A = this chain, B = another copy of it.
Amino acid sequence: MRLRHKPWANDFITEHSQYAISNPEQYKGRWHEVFGNHNPIHIEVGTGKGQFLAGMSQQHPDINYIGIELFDSIIVAAIQKAVDLQLSNLKLLNVNAKDLTDYFDQNEVQRVYLNFSDPWPKARHTKRRLTYKEFLSLYEKILIKGGEIHFKTDNQGLFEYSLISFSEYGLRLKFICLDLHQSDFEGNIMTEYEEKFSGKGQRIYRVEAKYMNEDR
């Protein structure tokens, strides 16, 4: 994604504190207070311009969604969508995913979405991939037992890597689709990127993986 500096982004974020949560560390363990209910919380790591979470928020009003996005110049588009659609079950955090445990407590999140994450194709950048074991460990620290990661990408190499990484970490694969848009999967909400690239005939890969840390 091209990053364009937007000098007004920071002010825009501050002005929309209903959707863009400032100082989110103060809500660690208390996100149900922010939403005013005890519905499950699903987060998306790398929310980008927010089309996926805006769509999911509308499709599933009984789920609370929180989008994490590092770049302020990008998250403003997601905030604008939440404002325009008045999505009470969507919040956005302009923070770094590696600090997730500063913002969420153990068992506070039910599901993590990863959509079209940066593939970091060079071997020396493996650790930056959001499906690298250190990230899987981070997600585990904030997810409920038996929590899930739902991941889609058009990048074959990242998908292959991620399946192996999930398996090595001990996650159980429970759903795999190797050509999402030619499948009978229902309820798919496309990201901006997905719309653009699947239109060109690019395959979309999707997997659901589950942490096997449940009490037995």
Task: Report the Cα distance A164→B178, complex, angstroms.
Answer: 12
**Cα separation A9 to B173 with both chains bound (whole Å):** 43
Q: How many copies does the complex hold?
A: 2
| Nearest CB of B to A216, in Å | 13
For A164, the chain B residues whose CB sits under 8 A away are: 173-176
Q: Are A160 and B174 in contact (CB under 8 A)?
A: no
Contact pick for A178, options B160, B168, B173, B175, CB 8 Å: B160
Give chain B residues whose Cβ lies under 8 Å from the Cβ of A178.
156, 159-160, 178, 205
A167 touches B172 (CB 8 A): yes
Residues of B within 8 A of A173 (CB): 163-164, 167-168
A179 to B, closest residue via Cβ: B156
A87 on the B face (CB < 8 A): no
- List 10 additional A-B contacts (Cβ < 8 Å) besides A160-B178, A164-B175: A156-B178, A159-B178, A163-B173, A163-B176, A164-B176, A167-B167, A167-B173, A168-B173, A168-B174, A178-B205
